[in-house]
């Protein structure tokens, strides 16, 4: 049992240290650091319960009969302090969200306050980890929005069960992440689409072709095709095709922001040039916004040389730098006539999409756009922080809901022929 105590204490102490000071220099180290930091930093109370249980079992079994057991207990105590540090960092999320919404939306009407959920409901969500769809929200699965050869591209629609067919509700389109190579519409974004659908929005979560089988710009072509489907069919589900916000996480944030900055770009919608693919807002969770990475925010070569050049773009940056620029929301800002409102959320400990790169995108966007650009930097947050319910993700998603309500209210007030009281 002393060996068990030592192994538990050492393992947790190392994992907590990695979560608090994630490695960034080497690609493999960054990937491992993200995974460890994600599980530790977003689930500190769960990890604390597991750590305490294993330590108690070890002590009860006589683990303190040898010096190794005492060393293990000491390491476990240090790990517990680190986990409590994560709890405290998560507690800073409400202030970070409020500061961003109050500051960045101050000149644009502000963000509406929302009634907090019952404490028992929030505690249940956080304890279960798995995002549960509210009973009042219906999910219509696997609607085909386009076919590429024999392959059907599908999407899911989320809406309140009692939403009238003619509700003309605002629409939110979610694009999943996964480094452009993995992921699907049922795995990610559920906290966001569940919350917005429960609030009366019609939400659409999409699949798109993935690399290495797909080569960029196949991915953004599919996103544009999904927007075409929304324009043509969302009204049948109670949505208003005139008001669409697009969002996503990681690679999905890249595709969502690229779509938001390239409305009606012929290169991405040659087979339907007459369809308006303009969106009225964009939300990016921990996004990647610059394929060129000339400032070397990624401290390793795996991002551009391995992932982008060999798998996603299938061409070398040195041979076609302009293609990497065209694929980058950061370099598309200058050509965007009127960028829509943006909300960008990022963790300051993100190992996979460095926060400085996202800040650079934010700064360029603010200089070029008259629309609000809301920036939320969450202390202690790793990549993919809103995949499952946590102390932090609940606050972040509520902030996104407030942002979406705010820009929709501003649009209704300004758009001709729209009933602002509806």
Provide the CA 105 distance to its chain's centre, in angstroms.
21
Label residue 412 exposed, middle or buried (CB < 10 Å: 0-12, 13-18, 19+).
middle
> From the CB of residue 322, how many other CB atoms can be counted at a distance below 10 Å?
9
For residue 303, give the DSSP letter. Answer: I
Structure tokens at 188: 């990610």
Cα–Cα distances in angstroms (integers) from residue 56 to residues 7, 49, 76, 200, 334, in the given order: 14, 11, 11, 47, 59
Nearest Cα neighbor of 110 from 272, 325, 341 is 341
Q: How far apart are CA 274 and CA 287, in angstroms?
A: 29
Structure tokens at 372: 């609000």
- Whole-angstrom distance between the N-terminal and C-terminal Cα of the chain? 66
Q: How far apart are CA 285 and CA 235, in angstroms?
A: 27
Catalytic residue numbers read: 250, 350, 383
- Strand 239-249 with 202-206, pairing: unpaired
For residue 347, what are the β-bridge partners? 378
Nearest Cα neighbor of 133 from 204, 201, 194, 186 is 194
Cα–Cα distances in angstroms (integers) from residue 129 to residues 158, 252, 383, 386, 388, in the given order: 20, 22, 17, 11, 6
């Amino acid at each position: 049992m002393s060996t068990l105590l030592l192994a538990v204490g050492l393992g947790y102490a190392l994992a907590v240290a990695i979560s608090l000071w994630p490695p960034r220099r080497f690609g493999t180290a960054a990937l491992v650091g993200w995974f460890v930091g994600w599980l530790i930093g977003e689930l500190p109370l769960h990890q604390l319960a597991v750590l305490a249980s294993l330590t108690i079992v070890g002590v009860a079994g006589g683990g303190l009969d040898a010096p190794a057991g005492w060393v293990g207990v000491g390491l476990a105590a240090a790990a517990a302090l680190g986990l409590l540090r994560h709890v405290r960092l998560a507690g800073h999320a409400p202030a970070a969200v409020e500061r961003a919404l109050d500051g960045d939306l101050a000149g644009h009407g502000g963000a509406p306050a929302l009634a907090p959920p019952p404490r028992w409901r929030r505690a249940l969500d956080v304890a279960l980890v798995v995002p549960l769809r509210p009973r009042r929200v219906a999910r219509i699965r696997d609607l085909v929005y386009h076919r590429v050869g024999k392959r059907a591209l599908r999407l899911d629609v989320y809406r309140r069960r009692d939403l009238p067919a003619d509700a003309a509700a605002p629409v939110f389109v979610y694009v999943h992440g996964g480094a452009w190579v993995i992921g699907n519409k049922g795995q990610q974004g559920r906290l966001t689409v569940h919350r917005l659908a429960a609030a009366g929005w019609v939400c659409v979560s999409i699949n798109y072709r993935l690399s290495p089988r797909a080569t960029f710009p196949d991915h953004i072509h599919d996103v544009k095709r999904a927007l075409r489907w929304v324009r043509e069919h969302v009204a049948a589900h109670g949505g208003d095709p005139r008001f669409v916000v697009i969002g996503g996480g990681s690679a999905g944030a890249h595709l969502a922001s690229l779509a938001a900055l390239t409305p009606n770009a012929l290169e991405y919608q040659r087979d339907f040039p007459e369809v308006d693919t303009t969106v009225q807002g964009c939300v990016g969770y921990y996004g990647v916004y610059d394929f060129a990475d000339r400032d070397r925010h990624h401290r390793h070569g795996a991002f551009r040389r391995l992932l982008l050049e060999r798998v996603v773009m299938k061409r070398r940056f040195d041979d076609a730098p302009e293609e990497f620029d065209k694929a980058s929301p950061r370099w598309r800002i200058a050509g965007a006539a009127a960028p829509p409102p943006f909300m960008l959320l990022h963790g300051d400990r993100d190992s996979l999409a460095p926060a400085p790169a996202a800040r650079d995108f934010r700064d360029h966007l603010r200089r070029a756009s008259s629309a609000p650009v809301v920036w939320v930097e969450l202390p202690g947050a790793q990549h993919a922080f809103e995949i499952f319910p946590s102390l932090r993700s609940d606050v972040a998603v509520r902030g996104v809901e407030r942002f979406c309500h705010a820009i929709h209210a501003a649009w209704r007030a300004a758009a001709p022929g729209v009933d602002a009281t509806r």
